[in-house]
């Protein structure tokens, strides 16, 4: 490999680091590092890097900055993927229409079952329990006592009729 230059002064580091055509180019005569790769055993190699004596701190800072940059980029990529996924779900009119339709169908089915149990003479809490059991028998993903109770409550079926005592 090329012989490294004499150790640059502190003021020269800026110009050396930014001159990537020579300082970090192993084919340049002004290459600052001495690289050596030696095979040791079973496909393993030893990579050694020699640099001017006063440059280790700057080189370590450069590596640390590059590591932080790649961690930041990785975090941004993951965040962008999540945001894009959420944006697609929020903005997609077809998905929103499908979700609204599924919600309406579930509401209609749950209310129909509830009304039929109430008309059979069951108390409200028993009608909710039976409605939930009927939905669970159909393996409906939203079938839970709390959801069914809240949904039926939002339709106004728990309100007492005026004039009825």
Distance CA 109, CA 113 (A): 6
- d(CA 127, CA 44) in angstroms, rounded, equals 72
Residue with tokens 């680091």: 17
Render each residue's pLDDT in the chain as its tens digit; 165 residues.
555 555 555 545 555 555 656 666 667 777 777 888 999 999 999 999 888 887 788 778 888 998 999 999 999 999 999 988 887 777 678 878 888 999 999 999 999 999 999 999 999 999 999 999 999 999 988 899 999 999 998 988 877 665 554
pLDDT of 23: 62
Domain spans in the chain, listed from the N-terminal domain onward = 10-66, 93-154
Whole-prediction pTM: 0.43
| Residue 46 φ/ψ, nearest 5 degrees | -110, 125
Q: Which of 113, 107, 94, 118 is nearest to 151 (CA)?
A: 107
Instruction: Give a three-class secondary structure readout of 89-157.
Output: HHHCHHHHHHHHHHHHHHHHHHHHHHHHHHHCCCCHHHHHHHHHHHHHHCCCCCCCHHHHHHHHHHCCC
Cα–Cα distance between 124 and 157 in angstroms, integer? Answer: 9
> Could you give phi then psi for residue 39, rounded to 5 degrees?
-80, 135
Backbone angles phi, psi at 65, to 5 degrees: -65, -40
């Amino acid at each position: 490999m090329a012989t490294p230059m004499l150790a640059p002064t502190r003021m020269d580091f800026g110009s050396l680091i930014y001159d990537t055509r020579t300082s970090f180019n192993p084919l340049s005569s002004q290459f600052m590092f001495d690289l050596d790769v030696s095979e040791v055993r079973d496909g393993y190699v030893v990579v050694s890097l020699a640099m001017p004596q006063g440059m280790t701190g700057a080189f370590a800072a450069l590596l640390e900055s590059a590591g932080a940059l790649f961690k930041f980029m990785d975090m941004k990529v993951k965040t962008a993927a999540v945001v894009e996924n959420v944006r697609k779900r929020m903005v997609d009119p077809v998905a929103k229409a499908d979700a609204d339709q599924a919600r309406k169908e579930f509401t209609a089915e749950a209310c129909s079952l509830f009304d039929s149990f109430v008309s059979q003479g069951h108390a409200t809490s028993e009608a909710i329990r039976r409605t939930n059991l009927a939905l669970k028998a159909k393996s409906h993903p939203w079938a839970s006592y709390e959801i069914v109770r809240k949904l039926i409550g939002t339709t106004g079926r728990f309100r007492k009729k005026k004039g009825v005592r």
